[in-house]
Structure 1
Amino acid sequence: MQPAPLPLTQELVLIGGGHAHALVLRMWGMNPLPGVRVTVIDPNPSAPYTGMLPGHIAGHYALDALEIDLVKLARFAGARLILGRASALDRDARLVHVPGRPPVPYDALGIDIGISSAPLTLDGFAEHGVPAKPLGPYADRWRAFLADGGGPVTVIGGGVGGVELAMAMAHALTQAGHPPRVTLLERDHILPGIGDRARATLRARLSKLGVDCREGASVGNVTADTVTLSDGSALPSALTVGAAGARPQAWLADTGLDLTDGYVTVGPDLQSVNTPAVFATGDCAHLSHAPRPKAGVFAVREAPILYRNLRAVLAGHPPPKTYRPQRDYMKLISLGDRAALLDKHGLSLSGRWLWRWKDRIDRRFMRKFHDLPAMPPPPLPAEHAAGMAEALGDKPACGGCGAKVSGTTLARVLAQLPTTGRLDVETQPGDDAAVLAIGGTRQVITTDHLRAFTEDPYLQTRIAAVHALGDAWAMGAKPQAALAQIILPRMAPALQDHWLAEIMAAAGSVFAEAGAEIVGGHTSLGTELTVGFTVTGLSDRAPITLAGARAGDALVLTKPIGSGTVLAGEMQMKAQGRWVMATLDQMARPQADAAAALAGAHAMTDVTGFGLAGHLLAICDASNLAAELDLDAIPLLPGAVELAEAGIHSTLYPGNRALADRISVPWGAKGELLFDPQTAGGLLAAIPADTTGEVLQRLRDAGHSAARIGRMVPGAPFVTVT
């Protein structure tokens, strides 16, 4: 008997993708604790590294150089990533609340969410200014500002962070050929907490770059183009950046955690002093045993302690490690151009050689996340059946429709099925669903299930529900009822409750929005998560099948293609996180409104496992027509072309490619994507050509990335791509 997979028994949740959590995820991927499911909650698919932000603002680094890809890091750690912002904590029930989702359970919880900049409380700043932290929105705003021609800039806050950003922006404006009109405002004196020699050097550098430094200046309010001081004077400001001190995340105040000035109070083991199941690190934490200023160096050094202590708590042991921060730390401050200043223990040095040193330190840190180590799969047993290595292959098995049996194999087996003739079926083999004539009513019935391709059961279920509904929508039916088929990985009973509640909440919301109801189903435990649904729908008219296309019809596609390639790239950790999340977002998009816009189609199908080429050929075969496609008109998911050019394909791609003798296509990455299996793909419809403009407008108004991609033409079933 084969050994059973180890059951899941504990939930670890990490709120925030800060430096400490990023390092913990990397360590977890190299040495996970069996039986633990890890969840990361962050509003963004990537987290910027603070040490390189001034260099990015100054123009020395591309954005990719300072981004920690949380999607890729989560895949490496075997964790799920929830794109969302934690809003509340229930300590008694051990639940994290994230708007738009069921509560997320935890046995151990880490918080590493950083801080915001204090000017958020200034009149008008929230509407017109941008805080320096969190870093992502500020970096986005700055790039757009510079591209639009720049203008006067105001930085509120004269600490090290504000000074560093003022110099970086002045340098970048000068390099771009714009006047470096940067004003630095500080209500007290600039640069507290650093040595006198370093302060003098930085003052001189600010002056050389043309930064107008105003001390003793209090801000009254901020508008879209002005900063008004408390004395009534006004400064022109096309971009106002807040870097004045630190501000804790507001939602922490209602968590019941012990706080110090709004920050989570922790002891030497990094545990909350009044809630041992909760840990906090980085700028959002207050070290009760050794208070320190807010600086990224502490989060980095806390990471190994946090990793060891989380493992201990989840294994049922007391935390074994304590964190003792250094009393002082080396400050390496960027000077705008490729030079830096060092300040520690009163020692101050500056020069280009310090920039090169700082650059090496920063790039070495980022390589930890850009070059994640390849973890070898478990070795095969010393004795094993012949062909096992070939069956496993050298790449991870795809989920979703990439895990389907090939179309040729399926067609060969289905052709052998006997028919009794007792049912009044209006459709033919190859149609999206069966249509049964029952009395005076037509009922569509279809089924589909998906092997998990994401660690997030909620998102997986939403996509599986949209995918299952696709066949009913494609035939013009109104969804009626659904049966759920759920296979959970082996896990403790408490986890089964949470997982099933999360899965059914996701399914219930999708089917309710579609006008259908879940009426039952079946659950079991297995080796991995699989989610599927049997769906029925009602139609008061003849179904839209594959067979009704007419010569001259326009071909309309409602979603971009490339999901199989992007998901394969994600599994191989070669896809950028923003590509992956854009793909998942498209897959989770229901298509009831698209089906309504296409109600007058002559033929329609949803593009799923057999790719755009395979599903279009099915229309050609059933309608006895040929088709012409405009390759450049076909919408593509972000990253799909880049990954295809790198030779990345879904495991179902070779089977779909067997249709290549029935399609004339310019080979290359775009042509290969025609055979890419889609999951919860778009609707492909043959519609009257004279309605194309109106239909496309309705689809785009509803938010679909729809396009006219070709037409049906007379001739034997064949597809010509130009």
Structure 2
Amino acid sequence: MDNRIPLTQDVVFIGGGHAHALVLRRWGMAPVPGARLTLIDPNPRAPYTGMLPGYVAGHYDRDALDIDLVRLARFAGARLVQGRAVALDRGAQRVTVEGRGDIAYDLLSIDIGITSAMDELPGFAKHGIGAKPLGPYAARWRCFVEDAAQGRVAPQVAVIGAGVAGVELALAMHHRLAQVAQDVQVTVLEASDALQGIAKGTRKALFRAMRDAGITLRERAAIAEVTAEGVTLETDEAIAAGLVVGAAGARPWGWLNDTDLPLEKGFIKVDQALRVADDAAVFAAGDCAHLTHAPRPKAGVYAVRAAPVLYDNLRAALTGASTRAFRPQGDFLKLVSLGAKQAVADKGGFGLHLPGLWRWKDRIDQAFMQQFRDFPAMPAPKLPDGAAHGVRAELSDHPVICGGCGAKVGPGALGDLLDSLPQLNRPDVISLPGDDAGVLDIAGQRQVISTDHLRAFTLDPWRMARIAAIHALGDVWAMGATPQAALVNIVLPRMSERLQRRTMGEIMQAAGDVMAEAGAAIIGGHTTQGAEMTLGFTVTGLCENAPIGLAGARPGDALILTKPIGTGVILAAEMAGRADGDTVMGALRSMDRPLAADARALAGAHAMTDVTGFGLAGHLLAICKASGCAAQVTLADVPLLDGAKDLLDAGQRSSLHAANAAYAAPMVTAERGGDSPHYEALFDPQTAGGLLAVIDPAQAGSVLSRLQAQGVCAVQIGTVVEGSPGLVLR
């Protein structure tokens, strides 16, 4: 998006359903200038319904049926808010996200699907699982299969609901369980008659498939409750099951009933433009919507067909153009899986079970998912003619500048600059060699002061503010100080005053929460507009005891690290669209964890630093230089964030990685692993990284125990040894 164009309109999508996924893909190829997009979903992935039976049956792995919302959002230029929408205030045009607060909108679109949870059935909420939403069910199914394969649970399943969806899942589950266990029992329970509303040939094929598999069908079965042991009928008969799945019809999400949206049996009423009947600012599509002009049963095909209309109408609402009507087809082809790689076709009152139908279904499903596996490559900006010498080489070496600490200046250049500064001796300024923070002596009270700012690596100002605040406080915690006060420095991209207020509200809410939890007060700051969002904090802290600096390490001391490393390569890969959503969200969760508990447990450290832009190697070398010693690191003990190793193996690097390596590698001796991803990870720039502490070896065990009791996954990665400053890798 051209950063010269101001942002003026907030478009918010609730839910990563099929319609929204297709709209966001189109938006990435043809965005509306001035529109800021937000996608709200509780998960970083959205399963594709068409491939769920194949996944359940074991024909696909989980990655095959998941739309990666993190990659999709990056392609579309949207921020992804991982959270659950729980309330809507249409008057104030705000969506409430659980655990986060409100997000404002100018246009809102809702595509949250449906649920199969039967919470009105006693015991279901505690012991059962709905087939929809698909994410929780797929995760529960994977665990159940593993437990059944290991003999930890009996391979017994009960499915509540004998419509097409319930029977299809029952066949898929039986097929998979039969591959890993013996004496498989699958029971399908239906309150009325099974398989209504489909062609006679389709019903016949599905009944035959259940009979051949040995699946028990119980029609007109009234259920009394779901228990830990299975299902109890009103006749007191017990159906044994370690997994109870609800598939009895489409149910709307309950929170919609607490809004003032116009509803039809809990589903959002929309007109032919997919716009909510009484609100020009709200749209809805997919299973959560009720088409007032053309009511249809709930089916993913309508969401897919609605996507182009929704995209066009959102653009029209933003630009003042005319909307167009969504006219769903009256019937559609259903390809129903039969457990094994077979399928039956149903359309227009006819059902056919023919060889090759499953392969046809597979091709259709794979073609749909391929749209979200390889996004179209957007052309890079053309280099102007007559560019100065070195421009082309610089762009080739660093085509994208990373965010976070990957955007820092390299340690070599920065160190030379600092060494050249004039030294002014003041009795109230205490110099600690190599430390990022300064120490002031004010009437006998020692105050730590530090500043840090980050180029944004996420479009979400709330999350960015939290991480930037935690990152800035790292120097205070690393010196054993208690956070005291903070000044905020905010650079916002060009946007309207209304969006400025919204953005500043999110930033200050998030930063205020972090600082308040740390015990620090925000006392002021500065704002300006620039090409992109940058957030920074100047922070102070008070030391009851002597500040912990870099000097003080002694041979024999233990080296303790309190967070895994790898944020730099993960953020770089995410910006390039090459990191999967789970990996990115894992890195964000790590960065989002404050270090207060770490600092309390490490209060007696001989030396300490936070691991940030210069990477683990650079910061450990700083301790070695200040202390006049060396360090021995067991490479295999250095913890990496999930996904970091694979990305390093694939050649992904942060833009600061090469400068970090050039500075540190000459002082690193690798006895083993010098060509491994763990070795490369030592130079990876970190954002809001953990504390690296030098601890008396006699106290290392108790310190690690205290950290782990606080939920901090700290590890000992090596020891301090005698020698010239350097690292020895074992």
- Distance, in Å, in 2 between the alignment partners of 1:423 and 1:271 is 69
Contact 2:200 2:350 in 1 (8 A): no
For the residue of structure 2 that corresponds to 1:103, the secondary structure is strand
> Does 1:689 find its partner at 2:697?
yes
- Distance, in Å, in 2 between the alignment partners of 1:157 and 1:63 is 24
- Distance, in Å, in 2 between the alignment partners of 1:509 and 1:9 is 27
- Identity percentage of aligned residues: 58
1:38 corresponds in structure 2 to 37
Contact 1:12 1:106 in 2 (8 A): yes
1:376 corresponds in structure 2 to 379
- Distance, in Å, in 1 between the alignment partners of 2:92 and 2:544 is 48
Do the aligned partners of residues 4 and 258 (structure 1) sit closer, same or farther apart at CA in structure 2, a change above 3 Å counting? Answer: closer
2:158 corresponds in structure 1 to 154
**Residue 228 of structure 1: CA displacement?**
0.7
For 1:322, give the aligned amino acid: A
For 1:58, give the aligned amino acid: A
- Distance, in Å, in 2 between the alignment partners of 1:340 and 1:11 is 44
1:10 corresponds in structure 2 to 9
The counterpart of 1:254, out of the listed 255, 258, 262, is 258
* 1:574-593 correspondence runs (5 A): 574-593=578-597
The counterpart of 2:624, out of the listed 610, 620, 625, is 620
> Does 1:196 find its partner at 2:195?
no
1:594 corresponds in structure 2 to 598
1:660 corresponds in structure 2 to 665
Contact 2:3 2:493 in 1 (8 A): no
* 1:511-550 correspondence runs (5 A): 511-550=515-554
- Distance, in Å, in 1 between the alignment partners of 2:191 and 2:336 is 22
Select between 388-397 and 39-48 the one with higher mean Cα deviation.
388-397
> Does 1:467 find its partner at 2:466?
no
Q: Deviations over 1:527-573 (max 9, x none)?
A: 10000000011112211000011111000000000000111111111
Contact 1:562 1:640 in 2 (8 A): yes
Contact 1:119 1:156 in 2 (8 A): no
For 1:688, give the aligned amino acid: D
* 1:184-223 correspondence runs (5 A): 184-223=188-227
Contact 2:47 2:65 in 1 (8 A): yes
Contact 2:342 2:355 in 1 (8 A): yes
> Does 1:346 find its partner at 2:344?
no
Select between 412-421 and 202-211 the one with higher mean Cα deviation.
412-421
> Does 1:720 find its partner at 2:728?
yes
- Distance, in Å, in 1 between the alignment partners of 2:612 and 2:622 is 12
2:501 corresponds in structure 1 to 497
- Distance, in Å, in 1 between the alignment partners of 2:425 and 2:441 is 13
Contact 1:338 1:352 in 2 (8 A): no
Contact 2:574 2:580 in 1 (8 A): yes
- Distance, in Å, in 2 between the alignment partners of 1:190 and 1:176 is 28
> Does 1:427 find its partner at 2:431?
yes
Contact 1:487 1:529 in 2 (8 A): yes
* 1:212-251 correspondence runs (5 A): 212-251=216-255
Select between 650-659 and 664-673 the one with higher mean Cα deviation.
664-673
For the residue of structure 2 that corresponds to 1:120, the secondary structure is coil
**Residue 4 of structure 1: CA displacement?**
6.6
> Does 1:677 find its partner at 2:685?
yes
2:115 corresponds in structure 1 to 116
> Does 1:93 find its partner at 2:92?
yes
Select between 692-701 and 679-688 the one with higher mean Cα deviation.
692-701
For the residue of structure 2 that corresponds to 1:466, the secondary structure is helix
For 1:660, give the aligned amino acid: A
For the residue of structure 2 that corresponds to 1:148, the secondary structure is helix
For 1:37, give the aligned amino acid: R
2:133 corresponds in structure 1 to 134
For the residue of structure 1 that corresponds to 2:680, the secondary structure is helix
- Distance, in Å, in 2 between the alignment partners of 1:429 and 1:542 is 15
2:556 corresponds in structure 1 to 552
- Distance, in Å, in 1 between the alignment partners of 2:357 and 2:539 is 65
**Residue 351 of structure 1: CA displacement?**
3.3
- Distance, in Å, in 2 between the alignment partners of 1:182 and 1:653 is 54
- Distance, in Å, in 1 between the alignment partners of 2:365 and 2:124 is 32
Contact 2:117 2:131 in 1 (8 A): no
For the residue of structure 2 that corresponds to 1:435, the secondary structure is strand
**Residue 718 of structure 1: CA displacement?**
1.1
2:710 corresponds in structure 1 to 702
Q: Deviations over 1:651-691 (max 9, x none)?
A: 00000011211001322211000000000000000000111
- Distance, in Å, in 1 between the alignment partners of 2:12 and 2:554 is 55
Contact 2:117 2:129 in 1 (8 A): no
Contact 2:129 2:245 in 1 (8 A): yes
For 1:59, give the aligned amino acid: G
2:104 corresponds in structure 1 to 105
> Does 1:82 find its partner at 2:90?
no
Contact 2:117 2:132 in 1 (8 A): no
**Residue 193 of structure 1: CA displacement?**
1.3
The counterpart of 2:361, out of the listed 358, 361, 364, is 358
Q: Deviations over 1:222-252 (max 9, x none)?
A: 0011201122211111110000011100111
Contact 2:189 2:221 in 1 (8 A): yes
Do the aligned partners of residues 638 and 4 (structure 1) sit closer, same or farther apart at CA in structure 2, a change above 3 Å counting? Answer: closer
For the residue of structure 1 that corresponds to 2:81, the secondary structure is strand
Contact 1:153 1:238 in 2 (8 A): yes
For the residue of structure 2 that corresponds to 1:628, the secondary structure is strand
Q: Deviations over 1:426-470 (max 9, x none)?
A: 233411311111111101010000000001000001000000000
- Distance, in Å, in 2 between the alignment partners of 1:476 and 1:247 is 53
- Distance, in Å, in 1 between the alignment partners of 2:442 and 2:727 is 37
> Does 1:303 find its partner at 2:311?
no
2:151 corresponds in structure 1 to none
Do the aligned partners of residues 649 and 415 (structure 1) sit closer, same or farther apart at CA in structure 2, a change above 3 Å counting? Answer: same
2:615 corresponds in structure 1 to 611
**Residue 602 of structure 1: CA displacement?**
0.1
The counterpart of 1:570, out of the listed 541, 565, 574, is 574
For the residue of structure 1 that corresponds to 2:99, the secondary structure is coil
- Distance, in Å, in 1 between the alignment partners of 2:720 and 2:62 is 44
**Residue 383 of structure 1: CA displacement?**
4.3
- Stretches of structure 1 lacking an aligned partner (at least 5 in a row): none
For 2:53, give the aligned amino acid: P
> Does 1:268 find its partner at 2:276?
no
- Distance, in Å, in 2 between the alignment partners of 1:459 and 1:701 is 27
Contact 1:110 1:280 in 2 (8 A): yes
- Distance, in Å, in 1 between the alignment partners of 2:245 and 2:481 is 53
Contact 2:231 2:239 in 1 (8 A): yes
**Residue 423 of structure 1: CA displacement?**
4.7
Contact 2:433 2:626 in 1 (8 A): no
Q: What value does the CA root-mean-square deviation take over the aligned residues? A: 1.1
- Stretches of structure 2 lacking an aligned partner (at least 5 in a row): 149-153
Select between 292-301 and 411-420 the one with higher mean Cα deviation.
411-420
Q: Deviations over 1:24-64 (max 9, x none)?
A: 11001111111111000000000000000000000000000
For the residue of structure 2 that corresponds to 1:227, the secondary structure is strand
For the residue of structure 1 that corresponds to 2:608, the secondary structure is strand
Q: Deviations over 1:299-337 (max 9, x none)?
A: 000000000000111123342x11100101111000000
TM-score by length of 2: 0.97
Contact 1:16 1:112 in 2 (8 A): yes
- Distance, in Å, in 2 between the alignment partners of 1:335 and 1:253 is 36
Select between 549-558 and 190-199 the one with higher mean Cα deviation.
190-199
> Does 1:292 find its partner at 2:296?
yes
**Residue 280 of structure 1: CA displacement?**
0.5
- Distance, in Å, in 2 between the alignment partners of 1:186 and 1:440 is 78
- Distance, in Å, in 2 between the alignment partners of 1:426 and 1:707 is 32
